[in-house]
Structure 1
């Protein structure tokens, strides 16, 4: 029993950051700083252009990471950086076909292991500020991601009559806590012909969605709609080879939770709240009113008691909690691959490349290289 208590005490003594992964998302550093002034007292707008170039700081790459959360500087969400990071993370979890257009058939069942490498703009400032970094690098508080992300996936597919196939999978991005759960449905209206019109290729249409969780501050949803074309040929006796290609339209949807941009500060302690009988002025209908209405004892207005910060500056850190606006990013992709089939074993390689970028995304067009090994029965 004493040894168990010692072990528990040691575990509790380990700092929480020691469990962090190098590529964990840190949205609290995707910020810019601004000063609340009499000219712009509404801190919720955060609509400032500090360098006067006509681009609001929230959309200006040069403003990313500017000092905030110290002194009179408040923190605001840098939407441009968030958008680029969401775009590149989403493409790493994009639904991959890794199969020929030909479905498994109503008796078919497939289970396989896949791995995908995705290129990213690893030297971009939004990647360096937006990821945890190594534990040994506590001075700069920035990440140093690799130029490629690796996402292994366990995939299961089941065939049904009339050229219909359902699939699901679970993915994990290494060096992070991001986990993706996927579901897809595929319909092949034209497949498997070997005589007469058999020289025509197989064709399939697929819809897929991946839901990515694991980060407290960020949720990702990736939706894909693709069309593929290919054909299986016999080669080398018992081995078949099946080249294929296709097009995919993809949506990446990024949702932010409330982000504390100054986790090292204690807003409650700085506020030092005290009870006040004149915390706020309330109108007769229950709405918030100007304090002057109560101070002048106007009819229909009354003070409401509550806890308040002991000073105006004491409540500043509460303004450093932000929420990034939802991003819905669309782009087109092309893919091509080849599958080798030997009895019940299938080995598939696929390459994906962005044909376009979302209108509001300035990050580079990305690529994916995937390899899968599976068994069908």
Structure 2
């Protein structure tokens, strides 16, 4: 019985198990031999431009977000938050129409995303010398894609009242998991300025802005151009590694009432934006 179960599991291909927004890269190829029964021929050529565009948009959705002003939590501070992210993508671009699992084998399917929605769990801890460490787990809804990231921030002149603005620098590193075909690694840099002030002795508001370049390193595994089709000769290929840089400009505001923290934020880059919301507790 155990052997039969294992045999059934081995016969199920990875793309068949993929959810709607998981990347299926077998469609990102150029036809070489149209007479071949394989969708892209027996020796398909990878569409490198489409692969880079897909990696860029997945990276914008899963890469580290700022979601905080320049000031740190303080040596005894701790923060816990849930975050919602909405990243717009162009569903009319062919790389989405060809690479999403819902469209494989169904050209008429309209299920290409206009936004990638993410849920995130974020933890931060203040340390001495105006240093703060953070950890983040992000998930793209309706997919098996997760990213893990860690960050370190240092406030440049925290507590010095002669400066009207607070300044900080944060570095973050992350990795996407959940796909056998697409590998993404992220490195983020945030240069932040902010100014906090109190309202009615109960509400603290800290608007902030930042330049936040995101460096994305994308690689692929061996890709089958006819996934799940055991009757068609396989045309396999591998994408060349891609290095993408997204120049993000971030604008947000942190609102604290007691321990409750609400932070809306928008990250703007060329042809792509991300709208993010943070709800949590700061202690």
TM-score above 0.5, yes or no: yes
Structure-1 residue corresponding to 2:32: 34
Structure-2 residue corresponding to 1:366: 272
Distance 1:222 1:67, change over 3 A: farther
Please tell me whether the aligned partners of residues 102 and 109 of structure 2 are also in contact (alpha carbons under 8 angstroms): yes
The runs of 5 or more residues in structure 2 that have no matched partner are none
Structure-2 residue corresponding to 1:221: 185
Distance 1:322 1:156, change over 3 A: same
Structure-2 residue corresponding to 1:250: 214
Q: 1:20 aligns with which of 13, 18, 21?
A: 18
Distance 1:342 1:31, change over 3 A: same
1:140 deviates by 2.5
Please tell me whether the aligned partners of residues 35 and 41 of structure 2 are also in contact (alpha carbons under 8 angstroms): no
Q: Quick check: which has more Rg, 1 or 2? A: 1
Structure-2 residue corresponding to 1:309: none
If the length of structure 2 is used for normalisation, what is the TM-score? 0.89
State how far apart, in whole Å, the 2-side matches of 1:208 and 1:190 are: 21
Distance 1:180 1:264, change over 3 A: closer
State how far apart, in whole Å, the 1-side matches of 2:40 and 2:266 are: 50
Structure-1 residue corresponding to 2:49: 80
Describe the superposition over 1:168-203 as per-residue Cα deviations: whole angstroms up to 9, x where unpaired: 011100011100001000010112344xx15x1110
The runs of 5 or more residues in structure 1 that have no matched partner are 36-64, 271-316, 357-364
Higher relative contact order structure (alpha carbons within 8 Å, sequence separation ≥ 6): 2
Structure-2 residue corresponding to 1:302: none
Describe the superposition over 1:224-250 as per-residue Cα deviations: whole angstroms up to 9, x where unpaired: 111000111111331111111110122
Distance 1:116 1:68, change over 3 A: farther
Describe the superposition over 1:54-109 as per-residue Cα deviations: whole angstroms up to 9, x where unpaired: xxxxxxxxxxx998726965322111111111111111112111111100111111
Residue pairs, 1:286-297, within 5 angstroms: none
1:145 deviates by 2.1
Please tell me whether the aligned partners of residues 30 and 40 of structure 2 are also in contact (alpha carbons under 8 angstroms): no
Describe the superposition over 1:104-154 as per-residue Cα deviations: whole angstroms up to 9, x where unpaired: 1111111110111001011111101011117xx854286622211111100
Distance 1:26 1:18, change over 3 A: closer
Distance 1:182 1:264, change over 3 A: closer
Q: Tell me if 1:323 matches 2:238.
A: yes
Q: 1:352 aligns with which of 260, 267, 272?
A: 267
Structure-1 residue corresponding to 2:60: 91
Distance 1:32 1:344, change over 3 A: same
* More moved, 72-81 vs 105-114: 72-81
State how far apart, in whole Å, the 2-side matches of 1:263 and 1:177 are: 18
Structure-2 residue corresponding to 1:342: 257
Please tell me whether the aligned partners of residues 218 and 256 of structure 1 are also in contact (alpha carbons under 8 angstroms): yes
Q: 1:170 aligns with which of 131, 134, 137?
A: 137
If the length of structure 1 is used for normalisation, what is the TM-score? 0.68
Please tell me whether the aligned partners of residues 217 and 257 of structure 1 are also in contact (alpha carbons under 8 angstroms): yes
Structure-1 residue corresponding to 2:174: 210
Please tell me whether the aligned partners of residues 32 and 66 of structure 1 are also in contact (alpha carbons under 8 angstroms): no
Structure-2 residue corresponding to 1:45: none
Distance 1:329 1:70, change over 3 A: closer
Higher strand share: 2
What's the RMSD between the two structures over aligned residues? 2.9
